[in-house]
A and B are shown apart, each in its own frame.
Chain A
Amino acid sequence: DAGITQSPRHKVTETGTPVTLRCHQTENHRYMYWYRQDPGHGLRLIHYSYGVKDTDKGEVSDGYSVSRSKTEDFLLTLESATSSQTSVYFCAIMSSPEATGELFFGEGSRLTVL
């Protein structure tokens, strides 16, 4: 199994509070991704990273920011959480697109914004 750890696994917070989700990998993979999963929408890409300090936006990036100061950690921050950000968040990693192109996923972080 790919070494991906997400924390926290479950969080309940209130509207307007900041929230940070952490993704930690032990595979030394260059590419890391944050997705959210919602009923009827499948998985949607929030942000991704292709190296330390190299990040870019996905299709649903509004209200989210990310940081990657070291290869193994990719942080997703909700500066001021809203109820529409209640979701399950998945981190994924990939070694290189030129290789298999396979994504390895963490177990998810369930966030509830009241």
Chain B
Amino acid sequence: GDSVTQMEGPVTLSEEAFLTINCTYTATGYPSLFWYVQYPGEGLQLLLKATKADDKGSNKGFEATYRKETTSFHLEKGSVQVSDSAVYFCALRDRGSTLGRLYFGRGTQLTVWP
């Protein structure tokens, strides 16, 4: 079945450090891939997405490239800020699914210190 595996946290970085959060997936079809972010006390919100192989999603300085050959969608940011402290979730949706169900990874807690 479809599933997502993302790196265990927590991740602790100093401000302006480089961030990578690894995400790999297993899917029977041709999934769309997403990164969601959850700030403290809030619901999840979409950070970026990619719908086909080699697409790059980007938003707020974050990027992720859909790599079909390695079944990966790693999240990167060149210079993190304290305000990026949050929990990050990788997710996939089989584009062949008519029910729109998303499968989420377990989340990675990121803390950025000034």
Determine if chain A interacts with chain B. Answer: yes
- Interface code B44-87, partner A: CB below 8 Å = 1, 0 otherwise? 11100101000000000000000000000000000000000000
**Distance of A32 from chain B, by nearest CB (Å):** 10
**Is A90 in contact with B105, judged by CB distance below 8 angstroms?**
no
Verify if A79 is at the interface (C-beta below 8 Å from B): no
A50 near B99 with CB under 8 A, answer yes
User: In the complex, which residue of chain A has the Cβ closest to the Cβ of B102?
Assistant: A103
B89 adjacent to A102 (CB under 8 Å): no
Given A97-B93, A101-B93, A102-B49, A108 and B43 touching (CB < 8 A)?
A: yes
Q: Are B104 and A105 in contact (CB under 8 A)?
A: no
Expressed in whole angstroms, the minimum distance between the Cβ of B79 and any Cβ of chain A is 27
By size class, the interface of chain A is 20 to 34
User: Does B104 lie within 8 Å of A42, measured CB to CB?
Assistant: yes
Q: Is A83 interfacial (CB 8 A cutoff)? A: no
User: In the docked arrangement, what's the CA distance between A48 and B101, Å?
Assistant: 8
By the criterion CB–CB under 8 Å, are A90 and B97 in contact? no
Whether B46 and A97, one on each chain, are in contact in the complex, defined by CB atoms closer than 8 angstroms, is no
A43-59 at interface with B (beta carbon < 8 Å): 43-45, 48, 50, 56, 58
Across-interface contacts of B28 in A (CB, < 8 A):
none
- B residues near A42, Cβ cutoff 8 Å: 89, 104-107
Which residues of B are found within 8 Å of A100, using beta-carbon distances? Answer: 49
Chain A residues within 8 Å of B, Cβ to Cβ: 4, 31, 33, 35, 40-45, 48, 50, 56, 58, 90, 92, 94, 96-97, 100-108
Binding site for A on B (CB under 8 A): 32, 34, 36, 41-46, 49, 51, 89, 93, 95, 97-102, 104-107
